[in-house]
Structure 1
Amino acid sequence: MTNTPPRMMTAAISDGPGAPLVLRQVATPQPRPGEVLVKLESCGVCHSDLHLRDGQENLPDDYYPVIFGHEGIGRVVQIGENTPDAPEIGTRVGLPWLYDTCLACKPCRSGWETFCTSQTARGVQRDGAFAEYALSPTAFTIPIPEAIDPIKGAPLLCAGLTAWSALARAETGPRDNVLIIGAGGLGQYAVMIAKARGARVFVVDKDPAKLESAQALGADHVIPAGRDAGTAVKAAGGADVTINFAPSPAVWNTVRDAVNPMSAVVAVAMVHEPVDLSMMWLIDGGHRVLGSSVGTRQDMIEFLDFAARHPLPIDVQTLPLSGVDAALDQLKRGEVTGRLCIDFTL
């Protein structure tokens, strides 16, 4: 069963590292066997897109030109030939960061496909969802529950999923004290998810507006970032679980001062510089330090089911596709307290 999309589509194109995104007419991709073509309804705008646009991820020259965008939601409009397992035409699906993996290595076979060394990412090795249409391999195409609005739901595919997966990796449970460092979009999702798990939530951030937003979303304690932030967390009960969304090595002192014995520390933010982690601190405290990256297909299925039953009221600002480069500039200036999302009807 197929539909005929237009021969050309509009996409926001990156021609190279540091270059602004420009709108251009390009050929609409054609689905091959094992793929579907999705007509986009929405796509979230993520800090990772900003890092990619500004050249901070050092992509090879042969990746360009490329279409960014990895928080897309749309409906299947065309199915590649000989693809019996494809979702039906009209099915609403998500287009997240993880495009595909090898499916054969140990991480893939054991349910940790986000650590597959052969994975490809949407908006990096594969064109993403800052476009009217995008491809998706059927094995990695996840239906979106109809209860989830495509605008509110788009940021769930990266920001929300990343927060969900990090809390799950730390085995966050009722009565845990959870410290969330960085109260931007990801941190705000983490506040709500941790509260839904029955946790007591501390939030540290340098921005008073973000602390205010975190408190409105249910955070029990909000603490300005600084030299004494970790000590303040410890005095209020200490952290059993710490999730870091702040892209700075300076947060490590806060973590070290805040945690309780046998804590779990989950690194999510992209921090390239080393931190002063003491082996004796690990041994004496029995801590676990983990890395977490986006989420698996199963994580997404479970999270979307949760989100359909527990709407997450993050503020989402909409924009047309033509405004995506300016939206990335907004992120760069720190002017966004919630999430940004392209609405393809605008």
Structure 2
Amino acid sequence: MDTRTNGPLLGAGLVLGAAVLWGTVGPAQVLASSTMTPAALGGWRLAVGGLILAVFTVRRTTVRALTTRAVVRPLLICAVSTGVFQAALLSSVERTGAALATVVALGVAPAAIGLCARWITGERMTAVWTAGTAAAVLGCALLLTPGSAGVDALGLLLAVVAGACYGLYTVFAKKLAAVVPADRLPGLAALSLLAGALPLAPWMVGGAAPVRQGDTLTLIAWLGVATTALAYWLFTTGLTRVRATTAGTLSLAEPLAAALISVLLLHEHLSAVAWAGGALILTGMITMCLPPRFLSRERRITTVAAGPVVPIGLGGPVEPAEPAEPVRP
């Protein structure tokens, strides 16, 4: 059955569900108030989520794909990017709060994707990408102005690093999708999660004491099961039923969910200038999610045309260039 023409409404719901789950990562970290370091927490999230996803998706054909260099190289880069992303994002949440960390990381990501695509694959930048990136950069600048007092500069820098890792992951995930059948991608995504946990193993072992705490165990369970294994499955399944541009727009629910949860439940405060900066970042993201008809076919950029393996936790869509079938942070 061709999933591309089956259940677009269901697909949209699945992608939206994944984005909302990803939006709970930062607030859950703040709410749990765990003493575990962000690097250790990120490692446990990847290990638990990757293991659960692997149980349901990894098959012999997935393992056999690892014998080819065209698969191993991009998979390793995706894994390293995933590990660094986790440590950077969760450290940023710890320093700046869930709302700002999520918005900045996801706002930087589209620009990072464009620059990585230009550097690695030689794709040209479009006017739409330039306009969207300018809005996102200006939004980040507003978050650093004196009017947004209380914002931690190092925390914002870590969020930018997370966004850059997301861009690197996305471009190499697209390269991976070009050489692997669609039905093997979820399994390879699970393997990249497990491999991404390896660089964080020293922190996981050295900071293992908090694992015995009830709040920390609950947090790891939520991050691993809900925001990683389940969210990745929802996103990859949904992408087989909707266009990548539709998934991109729906994924904007992630920073919105994080901001709303942080403000309403965690009582985080964002100044008017910070809200304006966040609005500009989202405007830039929406601009880069415009339907393909606004771009020329010859100059379509990765952020619009791309999509398959789930992003590391922040959710942006990536998909093989048409007419390949879309298949996920």
Task: Verify same fold: TM over 0.5.
Answer: no
Structure-2-length-normalised TM-score? 0.27
Structure-1-length-normalised TM-score? 0.26
